[in-house]
Amino acid sequence: MAFMMVYFTRMTTISLSVIGLAITIGRATSSLIPIFIGKLLDKLGPGKLSIYGDFISGIGFIICLFARDPFTIMFTQFLIQAGSHICWTSNRGLVLLASEVKGTQTWFGLIASIRNIGLGIGAIFTSLALTINDTTGLNYTIAFSALLFFLSCIALFVWQPKKICDEIDDVNSKENKGLKDVLLNNRYRELLIVNFGLVLAAMVIPLVIIIYASEQLGLPPLFSGGLVILNTAIIAILSIHMASWAKKYNSLSTIKCSYLLNILAFTLFWCASITVENQMITGAVLVGAMIIYSLAETLSIPTMNMLCINLAPVKNNGSYMAAFQMTWSLGMTLSPVLFGWLMDVNKHAIWLILILIIFLILNVGFRSLKKGIGE
């Protein structure tokens, strides 16, 4: 989002506030996409649907090269994010196909690792592009992003995975259920609530850390960026190992552990505001909090993805995958407004509210889940 803001600022004469509004509206409207693609996922399968998703995102980037007014900017962001939501809704089905239902949780750890490596590489290239005053570098970055999506389409098209569900007869999956049926399922509804709490926790990195550390605690921007790099490195290095380790233990216990680690991390982030007079201590507390926070993320992501699959029908589970993705799209849409307001209140409000939300879900969000998953 930061790159897009700068890109359209340099390429157009539109004010930053209007550009920000156009990007926000485009992304917010795209967050509804998972509602409409559940049954389409059942019909087309994750492979074909992912091709459409990546193609839509690629077209969105191409249109960015010609977007010079707020409505076109809004349209580009809608396409880019809509394609992303389609792809991530299909992602869990793709992982099942790739793993052939063997060591799937470790595969989810691999996906998390690769994604963070990609984020790091992307941050390096976009930062380099932004340091060049010439707009050519910015346009090349946009064009290359589009090319990557189209290459992904080709890779998905030529990939012929082994079908894994043809011989399975699941009495719970003979009907093509809709989103309403998913929400009436007590266990799956609680799974969505639990995941929504983890989504809010995940939004701390892109929305809170840099502003909190540099603007509210007065630490150097380079240190704030270093915290984000530390998070990326930990997830990239440890995700596969943590996913492999966590599958030996009960899924709910693992998720609860990640909740407790998040509470501890947020408490330490909050405590850093008490030691602002000594930047060395403040920095050390923030580094410790970031390590704990990152460990919580490496535990929760693969395990939640496995629960998302295990609690859904074997076939015709598109609406379940779409509902799960909705927790991400809604969290990503609501958190900028919520977190921005809380950080405007003071430097304490954001951590207090996050701790309360996580603690509340920890205490009430697992009741029905226990009935189907042994402790």
- Enumerate residues 6+ apart whose C-beta is below 8 A from 116: 232, 233, 235, 236, 239
Nearest CA among 196, 192, 342 for reference residue 269? 342
To the nearest 10 degrees (0 to 180), the angle between helices 349-364 and 186-202 is 160
pLDDT digits (tens, 9 = 90+) for 195-222: 999 999 999 988 888 888 888 888 888 8
Mean predicted confidence (pLDDT) in 353-365: 91
In the prediction, which pLDDT does 200 show? 93
CATH of 166-375, one of 3.40.50.2300, 1.20.1250.20, 3.20.20.140, 1.25.40.340: 1.20.1250.20
- Percent of the chain exceeding pLDDT 70 equals 94
Classify residue 103 by burial, with Cβ atoms within 10 Å: 0-12, 13-18, 19+.
Answer: middle
Query: Per the structure block, which two tokens stand in for 288?
Result: 């410790």
Nearest CA among 145, 140, 33 for reference residue 79? 33
Residue 168 DSSP label = -
In the prediction, which pLDDT does 171 show? 46
- Enumerate residues 6+ apart whose C-beta is below 8 A from 18: 70
Is there a contact between 364 and 286 (Cβ–Cβ < 8 Å)? Answer: no
pLDDT digits (tens, 9 = 90+) for 168-196: 444 444 555 677 778 888 888 889 999 99
**How far, in Å, CA of 62 to CA of 294, rounded?**
34
Is the alpha carbon torsion for 226, 231, 236, 238 positive or negative? positive
Calculate the CA 29 to chain-centre distance. Answer: 17
Query: Per the structure block, which two tokens stand in for 24?
Result: 């926000």
- Enumerate residues 6+ apart whose C-beta is below 8 A from 187: 311, 368, 369, 371, 372
**How far, in Å, CA of 153 to CA of 183, rounded?**
32
In the prediction, which pLDDT does 149 show? 96
Q: Tell me the C-alpha to C-alpha distance, in Å, between residue 81 and each of 1, 102, 300.
A: 11, 31, 24
Beta-carbon-side half-sphere exposure of residue 119 (alpha carbons within 13 Å): 18
> Lowest-pLDDT range, 78-87, 137-146, 313-322?
313-322
Q: pTM of the full predicted structure?
A: 0.85
Q: Where are the domains of the chain?
A: 1-164, 166-375
**How far, in Å, CA of 282 to CA of 269, rounded?**
9
